[in-house]
Chains A and B, each alone.
Chain A
Amino acid sequence: MGEYSGIREWRPYSYHDLGGRSLGLAEGFRKRCLKVSDRSFSQGLQCQQINSMSVLMSMEDSVFVVHSPQGCVGCASFANDMYRVGQAHRGLPVIRNARIIVTNLDEKDIVYGGEKKLREALLLANERYKPKLIFLFASCASGIIGDDIDAVAQSTGAEIEPIVVPIHCEGFKSKVCASGFDAAFISLSKHVLKGAKKPREGDLVNLFAPTSISHKDQVEIERMLTALGLRANYLPFYSSLDKIRRIPAAGGSTAICKVFADEFMKQLERDYGIPFSHTVMPIGVRNTDKWYRGVAALFGKEAEAERIIEAEHRRVLPLIEDIHRRLEGKRVFICGGTGRSFAAAALVDDFGMKLVGLETPTYDEDAQIDIEYLNGIHGDFAVDIANMQPFEQVNLVKKLKLDVFIGVPTWTARLGIPTTHVLDSKRPTMGYDGILYLGNKIADQIENPGFNEKLAAHARLPYKASWYGKDPFKFIKTVETMGAAASAAGAGEAGKCPR
């Protein structure tokens, strides 16, 4: 297999525009019958540049140069807010801003090229902050006009002390925002690690965490790892050049989010012989157990893990019983990123809830494992493979008669449905401690839905009444493309594909 391109849609058997029922989709996937589709109408996506930036924005000793017009740092305000809040939670006395410098490409640059401005911005970053790292992000505009960010990074980087890390995160290259994580890791590997081996630190585990992990979650996960006698190299959130350089020394790698650093961990195994565990997101009892066992196995600590899991179950399970009583049988729809949505689906099982619909951005081999597991528990449920697309979500949700929606509540709350979320990057979610917080949150929010009910009477969802009577997936159309998944789709077991 060649080097991974960093573009998620080119991975084999991966689908991003699908809709249907879980049993049919799982069968179609198993038989390689799923066709590659696309939406002929869609709402805005999250571009990969947003992810590339957010994942690195809390790195210490770094400056972030964005080669774009000014709009492309819009979402950096979210990342910067998380960074500031994260510093507050970590008790830092002076809370600083991420250092973001934008080249501010204008009409003239679009015509004549922006490389000169980019060089100036890199020099400015160095002069102002003397950082150890300068991350340089591409944009749609810089990519289309053909500015050579690698060449500028190399030539200007040779004149200054900081390592300049160019990241190819042009938005138009991928519709899957998680590609942006990969773009960042590919560049870290190429420009910082560069294959240099380190003496092994046997008890060190690379713990890859995206920006959406709260400080409380970090504390909980590190508590669990410490109990196994492991030390975490927490990356790249609140990380530094030194911690990045320690990556090759680790005895194993794992990630908190399932679509985070998964390709990078494969590369670390190839390049440095570091084994990794890629299981689930540690949300809920079952998933936390599974995640924990996966990490422990890397270090031959299975027996210790079982003892700890047993103790944690003794502590937590009795407390969950009450939550289970409050939530049993509630009909739930889950929408979230790839890691979160499947983790949440397993979580609702801890509470005895009934899954009636799932919206998640990607269907691939990993998703198939989760969907088959969920099919076994919940039977046939609705599946929308979409990155948000609220127009499909409200249509589907309205048809499914829910008790609760778990996900970004902006739209379904306005239908008067109780809503809650498992993504709260400022408060607990993960591990054994997180489940109690989550369970109580979900139960409390379902039991007291007054806000949404009253809101619905005044809310302004923009969709025509006729839309709710139509097939939510009517805009998803099969396409002929040359993608890897497309060629695979044709290779389904002949004659066995369901119509």
Chain B
Amino acid sequence: MSAITEAPRGNCALGGANAVLSAIDKVVPIYHAGPGCCMQTTAGEAGQAGGRSPFYVSGVSTPCSNMLEHEVVFGGADRLRETIEGTIEIIEAEAYFVLEGCTSGIIADDVKGIAKEFTDRKLPVYPVECPGFLGESCRGYEIAFKALLDNIVEPAEREADLVNLFGIMPYHDPFWEGNFEEMTRILERLGLRVNTFFTRRQGLADVRGSSAAALNIILSPWLLKDASEQYRKGFGVPSLRWPGVPIGATDTSAFLRAVAKELGLEEKAERLIAAEEDYVYGYLETAIGALTWKRFAVVADSSTAIGVTRFLANDYSFTPIATIVTDPVFRSEDKERITRQLTELEHAKPPAVVFETDGWKIARELESHPEITLLVGSTNDREYAMEKDIQCCVIAYPITDRLVFNRTYAGYRGSLTLVEDLYDNL
């Protein structure tokens, strides 16, 4: 059940699925959808994630059947066939995914059957059932992973030093590339090879061979439950769920120990942790007192909310007041896992934890905490901070007033960037 929402912090299932697939090198989405869906979804995801466009096809360069009244009434099967044929003729790709929009979903065009006509001709065309009304971006993320697992991933020999790093949503997490890069850097120092599917021009070969991994590392408190099951059952790959992208020395070291334990790399991990923590504190001790005491609130998706709240409370000794989780977490066990992460802090008193997506309700919740002096949130939340004349740091989706390439707040090095960005000299 989707609720009426003011200022939503997500796009639709189609948008989420497209964000995932268009982030893989040489993969081309083909929309079987209305005439605005390409723009709406690209603007809704990449456009609100630090203002860039996906590198290969996106927005108005995405092949699309642009379903008009004629297709609504008479069906769009022929239109789709032509669109796929044209795409294959002119666009270079290792795989084409046909994404259903609301229009084709409602009139029930046989996208699967049409895609099969092409796979029967040995052309890599795969159907994805993701009409917008199925849910929002996170649902699309899950659907895209299922499409990859169903159509691309193949059985392979186990490789003991290979891990899959999942749970960071391309574009929907505005810092996805930087986050992947920092976490990859750390895992590589542990002697591992890392599949992300999305960074460093990884592509379908990496997706295909992901079944060889010794471990899936899922950096999210709730996403990819089904996909991890499918990896386990289908390919024997176990998963380690870590509740969000770790920020700062404490959580990143704990994360490394958990990974090391799974893979028997404990000793190596301890040496790495010592070196990385030394690096971080080497900087932190040069800016002692540079940021004054803050009572902070965080408004962000669960992964970011956990990372930021725990870092600022546990490692930086700021005072947590309220954390508002904005992604559509629906299972109660996931909500409990998230709440535990946000409330089981070292010294600090736990913040109020609220699950809310509606912009108006978020503002009302913040108003009930007048002691807040720092608001960490999205571009949407700047208005509240301006009204109350408190500091605002925009580090969560949606972000439309910053340009983001490879900046990260993740891991060891990212935590230093977060402190840099929190410094305001006012």
Contacts and interface: CB of A to CB of B under 8 A. Distances in A.
A71 B41 contact: yes
Interface in A387-410: 387-391, 410
B383 A94 contact: yes
Contacts of A457: none
B68 A172 contact: yes
Contact of A47 (B13, B15, B36, B132): B36
A139 B85 CA distance: 28
Contacts of B133: 69, 105-107, 109-110, 141
B7 A74 contact: no
B40 A71 contact: yes
Contact of B40 (A74, A104, A128, A388): A74
Interface stretch (B50-58, B230-238, B366-374): B50-58
A89 to B, nearest CB: 14
A47 B59 CA distance: 12
B132 A69 contact: yes
A43 interface: yes
Given A69-B133, A73-B8, A103-B4, A43 B39 contact: no
B42 to A, nearest CB: 7
Nearest to B136: A70
B36 A41 contact: no
A72 interface: yes
B47 A97 contact: no
Given A41-B83, A49-B36, A77-B43, A71 B103 contact: no
A77 B51 CA distance: 11
Contacts of B386: 93-95
B61 A175 contact: no
B188 interface: no
B10 interface: yes
A460 B105 CA distance: 32
Contacts of B4: 101-104, 117, 120-121, 124
Of A44, A101, A145, chain B has the most CB atoms within 10 Å of the CB of A44
Contact of B60 (A46, A49, A460): A46
A104 B37 CA distance: 15
Contacts of A411: 61
A281 B221 CA distance: 53
Interface string A87-103: 00000011111011111
A413 to B, nearest CB: 12
Contacts of B87: 41
Given A71-B41, A463-B91, A47 B34 contact: yes
B426 interface: no
Contacts of B15: 71, 74
B61 A94 contact: no
B401 interface: yes
B66 to A, nearest CB: 5
Contacts of B359: 97
B194 interface: no
Given A50-B39, A74-B15, A175-B66, A104 B5 contact: yes
A49 B43 CA distance: 14
A261 interface: no
A301 interface: no
B188 to A, nearest CB: 24
Of B14, B55, B60, B87, chain A has the most CB atoms within 10 Å of the CB of B60
B43 A78 contact: yes
A428 B11 CA distance: 32
A448 interface: no
Nearest to B364: A128
A81 B44 CA distance: 12
Nearest to A117: B4
Given A104-B2, A120-B4, A462-B28, A71 B12 contact: yes
B83 A460 contact: no
Nearest to B55: A460
B63 A96 contact: no
Contact of A44 (B6, B39, B91): B39
Interface residues of B, number: 77
Contact of B401 (A69, A84, A171): A84
Interface residues of A, number: 70
Given A71-B37, A464-B91, A141 B380 contact: no
B160 interface: no
A110 B106 contact: yes
B387 to A, nearest CB: 5
A245 interface: no
B92 A75 contact: no
A167 interface: no
Interface string A42-75: 1111111110000000000000000011111111
Contact of A69 (B12, B38, B60, B68): B12
Interface string B353-378: 00000011000000000000000000
Given A74-B45, A95-B386, A100-B7, A43 B61 contact: yes
A411 B53 CA distance: 11
A106 B7 CA distance: 17
B309 to A, nearest CB: 24
B166 to A, nearest CB: 23
A411 B57 CA distance: 10
A140 B360 CA distance: 26
A120 B132 CA distance: 21
Given A74-B15, A106-B133, A460-B56, A47 B383 contact: no
B90 interface: yes
Contact of B383 (A96, A103, A108, A144): A96
Contacts of B36: 44-50, 72, 75, 171, 177
Nearest to A64: B6
Contacts of A108: 1
Interface string B1-35: 11111111011111100000000000010010011
A46 B359 CA distance: 27
Contacts of A173: 68-69
Interface in B71-125: 71-72, 82-83, 85-87, 89-93, 101-103, 105-107
B294 interface: no
A475 interface: yes
B227 interface: no
A144 B133 CA distance: 13
Contacts of B34: 47, 140, 171-172
B35 A175 contact: yes
Contacts of B348: none
A489 B190 CA distance: 70
B249 interface: no
Contacts of B45: 74
A40 B105 CA distance: 21
Given A128-B360, A172-B34, A75 B90 contact: no
Nearest to A79: B43
B151 interface: no
B35 A74 contact: no
B347 to A, nearest CB: 36
B326 interface: no
A80 B400 contact: yes
A467 interface: yes
A99 B71 CA distance: 33
A128 B339 CA distance: 29
A293 to B, nearest CB: 36
Contacts of A77: 43-44, 47-48, 398, 400
B86 A475 contact: yes
Given A45-B38, A84-B401, A94-B387, 4 more contacts: A44-B60, A93-B386, A172-B71, A411-B61
Ordered nearest first, which 4 A-B pairs have the shortest CB separation? A47-B36, A41-B86, A44-B38, A74-B44
19 contacts: A41-B63, A41-B85, A43-B63, A69-B12, A69-B132, A71-B37, A71-B41, A104-B4, A117-B4, A140-B101, A171-B36, A172-B71, A174-B35, A387-B60, A388-B60, A390-B61, A411-B61, A462-B61, A467-B89
